[in-house]
Structure 1
Amino acid sequence: MLSTLEEVALHQQNIERIELLGHLCPKLKILYLQNNLIGKIQSLHKLKDLQYLNLAVNNITKVQNLQRCESLQKLDLTLNFVPKAGLLSIPSLAGNYNLRELFLIGNPCTDWHAYRQYVTGKLPQLAKLDGQIIQRSERIAAAQVLASLEQQLLQELQAEGVDVAAAAGVEDDSSTPDGEVAETGFVDEAGELRRPWCPATRILEHREMGASCSSTCRPQRKTRQPFKQVPSAGALACCASFPPLPEDGRVLQRNEGKWDFTLEESEDGMSLVLDVAAGKYLDTSLIKADVQPRLARLIIKGRLLQLVLPVEVKPDASVARRSAASGHLVLTMPKEEPQQAAINVTYLRPGDKSAQTATVQPAVKAARSQQPYKQIKQQAAASTT
């Protein structure tokens, strides 16, 4: 499987060095390695079909070990750490005759005043540099001043104490050891640690953040206890059976389980239909129902749903059914007086922040007739007052 891969994305994986890709995936054409901690381009010399290599936002300081990637067409080294001395490694890409696009923007080497002319002169096969098309006139001008720019660059680097021979060396495909990274920062007068922005700083900060996370997160996982809700004494009583009704006859609405439900009239107007979303995978043995002439009560998973009905119903003729597809519990309650005016029960639908108890304030709906809409609205408003 790996040997036939043509595209691999390994971005944002905190990778510090490239290993095994050239051996395991020799057919790669596109390789994404951006936003890692890679400090050296290595182990890619066997990727003869590689066309696009993205190494943006890494710790690269030199362009090297890509001479044998003969199919390479696009190389992205945006936001790395290639210094001015790293420009001496740019000629190593001259043999990549298929290379058309190169991105070096965001590297320290781009601060050199003749950076674009130097790269254009050294890599005549390029069509774009940092996303900008290289014009023919620009290419000719760069070729004319290339010799003087090379001499000027070497003189500046020697004046800065840079080892020119080491900076220009690119034939080094040895793997970098996983050693300790030396501390790059210093403590200022305020006692705070200050670090320069460099490849070593990125690695140090990443390792410190990983160590901090492992020391703080793991104990929390061990000590964390599974959440277990302890019901109150009143709730425990409801789990066994329905609570007794108050002697004064004043019954309150209750929805302890916050169940979604609707209470509506049937299509023929002969019954009230209570539809409760009890859950598809809830066992029916956890549901109890109790219907009284003006009251419907359900215990679902130990939580009470208590509704005062707007009209009187027939408890003995009521039927409860459970949907096998959705798990909804449908309680059909025939009305005691089928010809009684229809009742608007939409106020019984629970809101997002409704209380568990609420008193009933039924609103009388206009009877089914051909009365004008305005008259029906006036009758409904009068009934609420």
Structure 2
Amino acid sequence: MNFDFDTDTEEMRAAISAFARDKLPCPDAFDPVAFRERWLLAGEQGVVGTAVPEAYGGLGLGAVTAAALMEALGHGSEDTGFAFSVAAHLFACLRPVVEFGTEEQKRHWLPRLSSGEWIAAHGITEPEAGSDALALRTSAKLRGDHYVLNGGKAFTTNAPVADLFVVQAVTDPSAGFFGLTSFLVEAGTPGLRVGRPYDKVGLHGSPTADVYLEDCAVPADHVLGTEGGGAAVFSASMAWERTCLFAAYLGAMRRVLDSTVEFAGLREQFGMPIGGFQAVSHRIVDMTLRLESARLLLYRAAWGLDRGERDEVAPGLAKLAVSEAAVQLGLDAMQIRGALGVLSGEAETLLRDALPARIFSGTNDIQKNNIARALGLGPKRRVRRR
């Protein structure tokens, strides 16, 4: 096993980390104009299209390298929300187009999405279909040469600024797993409306909102994949998201851990640095253990993606490990800082940004169900065969 990145990857990581530190500071408040300006800068660096083939404007990188660059982005910038938006755009939207799109779709949309000119959003979650992701109510009915979509999506990352939406809808309510279809819907399409941005506990740099579809006519050639293939599109995107997206948290954790070690070496109480007290030093050791363990699981999952593995275990374990480690590391970093930890700063910011990680991309409780099922435990998912 070789745990080292090659020279090119290390150079890209250093460049992305420096770029994020210099050009992507954490803003005091979200500004859609400033967000798009920063997005274009990230596009110029290749950040928003790392896992897209070069033929369509991306860098053509595999999952391991894409995760490594996402880790660098999370390390360089304290705006984890921005990194989260980039990852959602890339892994939940662009990767499905790469894997399931027609040649015409790829050439039409991917160059603009990879350059940073356009931003994408993935509409899957609904008010009544969160953990039960296949219980969607948004419908799509074929009418001649187009589909008519009706319904609504909730918690849609990037929705307030998106130029393209990947929307999951039900085309055959009786077909179960094979009743979902994915659609590519451009912003401005009549019948598509975006609600007000959410006010969230964390990830303030990532705009999120509801999406409403009211008799929204989408051309038939905007179907991503095949009719009835939406669940397969969703599953493939989640494998990338649950692995590579969470690499941004690895970078954020490393940044906060390093600053915590420095703080423990400088802060003195009772005539000595607090890092000399076992209660503090052991807590930092535990922080390091969680980070390094989670990192190994994530890169194991990324390695599997590059090899074409399609199991639910590795991405699920990576998602569980990273999200839980991030929350606990945030708590520990605040505890070591004492009263300073509850003031505005990177420790409390990491904790707020980490809390949603246990919910999105499938709650951690659902991840455990999925992993258990993949291990042969519990009831099997019933799939209606066509």
Same fold (TM over 0.5): no
Q: TM-score range by the shorter chain?
A: under 0.3
Per the normalisation by structure 2, the TM-score is: 0.20
Bigger Rg over Cα: 1
